[in-house]
Chain A
Amino acid sequence: MQGDTIVALSTPPGSSGIAVIRISGPDASGILESMTPGAMAWKQRTLYNRVLRDGDGEMLDDVVAAVFHGPNSYTGEDAVEISCHGSMQVVSAIIEESIRAGARLAEPGEFTRRAYLSGKMDLAQAEAVADLIASETRLQTRVALEHLEGGLSKKVNAIEERLRSKLALVEASIDFPEEDIETYTVADLAAVSDETRREISELLESEVAGGKLRRGIRITITGPRNAGKSSLYNALLGEERAIVSPIPGTTRDVLRERIHIGGFTYHLEDTAGLAETVCEIESEGMRKGREAACAADLVLFVVDAGEGWTGGALEELEAHAGRNRIVVVNKTDLVPGGGETADCSPAGEVRTVDVSAVTGEGLGRLREKIFEFTANGEVSSVSRERIALNIRQGMALRRAEEALERLGRELGMNSPAEILSLEIREALDACGEVTGRSAAEDILGEIFSNFCIGK
């Protein structure tokens, strides 16, 4: 019933560091076969160990894969499951290759929807499926928005604006040939198209391939001054990166390093401590720290076991309500049993870990807690969304780049306006996938507000 084939990361890497990618639809096994040239026929519901390759024969990963024939699959359609190594690069590369081979990235809740539509689920579940789609969409929007605050969207927006104004010129030349208006010139369009293509290539280099988009899960350490945040940071890194000192307010900037736990990549951030009265530089440090904590996937809130919830610590913790957090009670070597914090630990706070950054006591438990979060909880959907977003944006930008390349060629051949329009629209469409708006819409409005049209 569904004409096309979809692909998505279904589970992000678990404790073994293995991620599962699913492909569903009529071309599912064809796509798998295209990535395993020369392999023998696949028996269904059988696990095979195979090397996946891209179109140029380059190895993507060593995976375990299985083929399912509809209706005997999760979605009821022909389907493929690939278990691969869990790094973002590998996952992205396999998904991108599947897309090149004819799949498209699944929409929110689409696997479940297909399962439902093919009768694999009972009717009473419609409500649940709809809710799932709505909530995955909200998540997608959140991740995209959070992302768009960055420089990428500003740059793509600028590109869109420029292309849109050129499209208006081209369209005006088509729909209003009798009007006394200046429309496009080939030279100008060629210059714009070249420049824009260069910008997009740079974006692809810096934002996509360079890994900014491929970042891992963000963990921010926060808490009162002197609670031992920098000490914990160093302890988790296993190296001395942050300056630890008994003088409160030593850390002023946000420090960031990568750590790995169970196959996951995390970006661990150390921030300035929170205090009531501070000097200007310090308050700037606190502002940055708060910002980092807001954008984090997980907050580690550190308190000093000896100090407990004094000096506004509890209010600060409250500020992180609703966010994923773990309360880390530090310096337990000084106060055996957790001291005062155990008693005043905020009601319902389930994730509290006692540690000592100095002795290393409790750090293993903290790592486990962090991992649990990632593998099962919301963080896992967030990271899955990020991978999807990353792939989507990368592909969209490449699509825009290709359209502009063709535009350049067409301009060189002096092609007619409606062909130029086709390519500019395609590029705009692709940019729209990054910024989430469709810039090619209401191009007539753009024309009417910029040109004196009308006989």
Chain B
Amino acid sequence: MKNDVIVVGGGHAGCEAALACARMGVETLLATIRRGDIARMPCNPAIGGLAKGQLVREIDALGGEMGLCIDHAGIQFRMLNRSKGPAVWSPRAQADKVAYHERMMSAIEAEENIELLETEIIGLVMTGGVVTAVMTADRGELQAKKVILALGTFPNGLMHIGEKQIPGGREGEPPSRGLSDWLSGAGLERERLKTGTPPRLVKVSIDFSRCEVQPGDEEPSPFSFRTGRLVVEQVPCHITWTGEKTHAIINANIYRAPLFSGQIRGAGPRYCPSIEDKVVRFSEKPRHQIFLEPEGRDSEEIYVNGLSTSLPAEVQLEMVRSVPGLEGAEIARYGYAIEYDFFPPHQIHSTLESRKIAGLYFAGQVNGTSGYEEAAAQGLVAGINAALALHGRGTFVPGRSEAYIGVLIDDLVTKEIREPYRMFTSRAEYRLSLRQDNADERLLRYAVRFGLLPRGQWERMTEARKSVQRARRRLEAESVTAGDAGTMRAARLLQRPGVSLDDVESLLAEGPLALGKRERESLEIEQKYRGYIRRQGRSAEKLKRMERRRIPEDFPYGEIKALSSEAREKLEKYRPETLGKAARLAGVRIADVSILMVFLEKAGAWRDGDDG
């Protein structure tokens, strides 16, 4: 049996990777430990949120599956940050975890080019620095031209509940052992990170009347550009608070917390601390907010967002019961922390291909990220690049000014990962342009070029975008007379504070703009931000120019005496692909970049890469 691509791991990264490959016409084998694992959500039952929502919209514009899955499985939809500016509006939805898994499963089963196989991969086979096959635990070698590793938290996973340590990839599942060790043996660096999850409570044991209700948006907005109107009966979440009593229980038992006893060594995310961490570090805070989120529409279980913990089971119960509304709560499953191996991503190219082992790609948690959306985005990029490489069709590396996905990948290959990496809008210097409303404008053309979307779908999406462009042209061309403001271009008037697209449209001599609701909103946002975005244009241009200047992989940094020694060290470790990436490495100064330019010229290495 010889496959073009083997994807290892059926999590959020692996599923998108396999689907992208298959849609690009590649025979794909998706190997995962258990079929039931497909697109499982081991932590909170939600997709999207700040910056993550934008990622999902981008994945969708690139033909990915995540947006469609959550539109199908969502039980509560909210557009976060509605009270702020539209550049930072972010869709978020509570998911029915089972429905999400099933929806992804059916997408994979529907794909003719994907074969799903239940097996654990324990090693790889390499010939002359190129990966040629994977080694299964139970059926020998499987040959492949490209291999994508999307192993999640499984590599040497170790779970902690109080003093108890349980090897496993996540609750109820075994770890993956052999593969991580094989990779380490092949000379790849690996390190450890940690994350955690709160307990799940039995729904009927909670007194919701003592909690605040948090409903969904009245008019839910879908994630996918391909979903029409969402018709969904929404389920509320609830809010309650910890108090002094809770904190006293935690403090009394803090010596039993693996995080503080030295039992856990991997670094955890600062933005996602456990409750014990919060109570210790911010002892002056009298209470911490807790969200009670259903694990599914009909699920018996409630996820206790805000109470992530690895304290011993009996302490968890005592702690939970000190919270208003949870006095009689039963724990269905205990919270835990998990440590796992990851492979620091200075070892990959921005195509996500390993620098050391050709044909091998890394996506998701194994690169040191955290989050379903971050994982899915990488899976998609790895899948696209593996398929492009098979067809000899170049690479796909979106830029920082083009997509959050671009920011994500660029950060991975230029920054040191000291904690699980999660996306935030503040990481994107061009966030005014990288909005959820225009992901299709930014990325759809790639999906079309790579064949990631069926014709009917991309034609409809393209038509929607074209309608925005036509309307934009009209705003720029037509003059309107607005009372005291005088006569001016419609676009100018729209940029004024307090003037809406509706106001302007009513003044247009040639009649209303023919636009759908979503397209309207997008046009209005874009016009409102225009001045600011234009101001950023020059630096975005410069960024792109620097990204076009490629540096050969084997560039002899060691021979260049004029470089500062700190710069030389960083450059040798990261081996940036472009001058732009070199400049973004910590410790590389402007002068070092200038010096590099001189030597690149000497090496005759100026090559203008295609910008995608």
Contact = CB atoms under 8 A, between A and B. Distances in A.
Query: Do A and B form a real pair?
Result: yes
Interface of A: 3, 107-110, 113, 116-117, 123, 126-127, 129-131, 133-134, 136-137, 171, 173-180, 413, 415-419, 421-422, 443-444, 448, 452-455
B281 A452 contact: yes
B520 interface: no
Contacts of B130: none
A11 to B, nearest CB: 21
Given A448-B270, A452-B282, A454-B271, A134 B595 contact: yes
B601 A117 contact: yes
Given A116-B601, A175-B51, A418-B88, 14 more contacts: A3-B542, A113-B594, A116-B598, A126-B602, A127-B562, A129-B598, A133-B594, A174-B50, A177-B84, A418-B431, A422-B532, A443-B426, A454-B272, A454-B273
B594 A110 contact: yes
B74 to A, nearest CB: 17
B424 interface: yes
A236 B151 CA distance: 78
Contact of A107 (B287, B288, B591): B591
B556 to A, nearest CB: 13
B532 to A, nearest CB: 6
Interface in B391-435: 424-427, 431-432
Nearest to B601: A117
A197 B597 CA distance: 38
A175 B561 CA distance: 43
B85 A419 contact: yes
Given A116-B598, A417-B88, A448-B270, A177 B591 contact: no
29 contacts: A3-B545, A113-B597, A123-B602, A127-B562, A130-B563, A130-B598, A134-B563, A134-B564, A174-B50, A175-B50, A177-B50, A178-B291, A417-B85, A417-B88, A418-B88, A421-B426, A444-B424, A444-B426, A452-B278, A452-B281, A452-B282, A452-B285, A452-B288, A454-B269, A454-B270, A454-B308, A455-B44, A455-B289, A455-B291
Contacts of B426: 171, 174-175, 421, 443-444
B497 A180 contact: no
Contacts of A413: 497
A409 to B, nearest CB: 10
B306 interface: yes
A455 B425 contact: no
Given A117-B601, A134-B562, A109 B270 contact: no
A126 B601 contact: yes
B560 interface: yes
Contacts of B504: none
Interface in B513-541: 532, 541
Interface string B576-591: 0000000000000111
Nearest to B586: A441
A416 B589 CA distance: 34
Main secondary structure of the interface of A (DSSP, over half): helix
A175 B545 contact: no
B598 A174 contact: no
Contact of B88 (A133, A134, A174): A174
A420 to B, nearest CB: 9
Contacts of B282: 452
Q: Which 6 A-B pairs have the closest CB atoms?
A: A416-B85, A130-B562, A137-B591, A452-B282, A448-B270, A134-B562
A275 B291 CA distance: 76
Interface of B: 44, 50-51, 80-81, 84-85, 87-88, 269-273, 278, 281-282, 285, 287-289, 291, 305-306, 308, 424-427, 431-432, 497, 532, 541-542, 545, 560-564, 589-591, 594-595, 597-599, 601-602
B467 to A, nearest CB: 26
A232 B171 CA distance: 86
A136 B591 CA distance: 9
A168 to B, nearest CB: 10
Contacts of A134: 562-564, 591, 595
A134 to B, nearest CB: 4
Contacts of A176: 50
A108 B50 CA distance: 41
B68 to A, nearest CB: 25
B242 to A, nearest CB: 11
Contacts of A419: 85, 532
A217 to B, nearest CB: 25
Given A175-B51, A178-B80, A417-B88, A130 B424 contact: no
A107 B562 contact: no
Contacts of A418: 84-85, 87-88, 425, 431-432
Contacts of A136: 591
Contacts of B84: 173-174, 177, 416-418
A32 B99 CA distance: 68
Contacts of B541: 3
Contacts of B285: 452
A303 B284 CA distance: 67
A131 B598 contact: no
Which interface residue of A108, A175, A453 has the most chain B CB atoms within 10 A? A175
A133 B591 contact: yes
Contacts of A127: 562
Contact of B595 (A130, A174, A175): A130
B386 to A, nearest CB: 32
Contact of A131 (B80, B269, B562): B562
A174 B591 CA distance: 35
A150 B598 CA distance: 35
Contact of A422 (B289, B432, B594): B432
A405 to B, nearest CB: 14
A178 B305 CA distance: 12
Contacts of A131: 561-562
Contact of A133 (B432, B542, B562): B562
A414 to B, nearest CB: 9
A444 B306 CA distance: 20
A159 to B, nearest CB: 21
B425 A175 contact: yes
Contacts of A107: 590-591, 594
Contacts of B598: 113, 116-117, 126, 129-130, 133
Contacts of B271: 444, 448, 453-454
A223 B271 CA distance: 61
A179 B273 CA distance: 13
Nearest to A178: B80
A185 B120 CA distance: 54
A173 to B, nearest CB: 7
Contacts of A137: 589-591
B27 to A, nearest CB: 41
A400 to B, nearest CB: 15
A113 to B, nearest CB: 6
Contacts of A416: 84-85, 87-88
Contacts of A455: 44, 272, 289, 291, 305-306
A129 B308 CA distance: 56
Contacts of B545: 3
B50 A130 contact: no
Contacts of B305: 455
A124 to B, nearest CB: 9
A413 B424 CA distance: 26
Nearest to B595: A130
Nearest to B214: A178
A133 B288 contact: no
Nearest to A423: B532
Nearest to B497: A413
Contact of B81 (A174, A415, A454): A174
B291 A108 contact: no
A171 B88 CA distance: 11
Contacts of B269: 454
Nearest to A138: B591
A180 B288 contact: yes
A350 B353 CA distance: 62
Which interface residue of A117, A130, A416, A443 has the most chain B CB atoms within 10 A? A130
